[in-house]
Amino acid sequence: MVVVEFEDVFVKYETYTGGVLALRGVTFSLDKSEAILIMGPSGSGKTTILKAILGLVQPMHGTVKVFGIEPKDEKRALEVRRKIGYLTQEGRMINELTVWENIVFYAKGRGRGLDDGRIRELAGELNIETILDKRPGQLSGGELKRAELLMVLSDDPDLLLLDEPTSMLDAENSEAVVSVLSALKGRVPMIITSHDPRLQKISNKTLEIIGGELKGARGGTASSSRGERVPVRRDESLHRPG
């Protein structure tokens, strides 16, 4: 079953000078048992792919389907978003609430249930079991990042979109995140954007994006903006600085 499908997608951000193409002919799909890692420099289009899945940006050309739905209007986009756990780089926790209260508020707003025992178990695996009663402003950047991830995982989403899940984390806590996500692999489809090559342990396929174009794949193929098939080069590192 295909969960996410991009077909020749172009996305343009309007600017005072006329606009910038953020995605150029992006074509790929995610099956229900897959994890895809998208790597590339800052500003290459990684986050735009996630926003297109959520219906936060609309293609100027091509189609995006999520669970068979095109999130073209707010009603359809909301239907899609309720099924997705989305980890942003900016964070979404409310400062006036504790971490635990944020998690409860998040799940209620999405109309989904919570398993208290499972949440506390995940908190232990992420090394944040002692911060559940603290407010976001009392946490370090790394603690807050893991608390946000816990919130995203808390209501058992049908699809995970994770934007730089190990940023601001040291090696030990990055490995904790990789371990938690590895346990979900095959059960929850996921798309991860990152500069961190450790996350390749989780992925079935690693895509490289530069200047809004998918350049290649490890474990498969990707389409360029001209519709050509780009061959896999298994000896080539997909990691780029930036």
Contacts of residue 16, defined as CB under 8 A and 6 or more positions apart, other chains included, come to none
**Mind listing the domains of the chain with CATH numbers?**
1-82+202-242 (3.40.50.300)
Contacts of residue 138, defined as CB under 8 A and 6 or more positions apart, other chains included, come to 131
**Strand partners of residue 27:** 223
d(CA 67, CA 2): 7
Q: How many CB atoms lie under 10 A from the CB of residue 187?
A: 10
Per-residue confidence (pLDDT) for residue 230, from 0 to 100: 34
Q: Considering only CA atoms, which of 136, 187, 177 is closest in space to residue 31?
A: 187
Global pTM reads: 0.87
Which of 62-66, 110-114, 148-152, 216-220 is least confident? 216-220
Please report, as a single letter, which amino acid is at residue 98. T
Contacts of residue 137, defined as CB under 8 A and 6 or more positions apart, other chains included, come to 95
pLDDT tens sequence across 72-88: 888 989 989 999 999 99
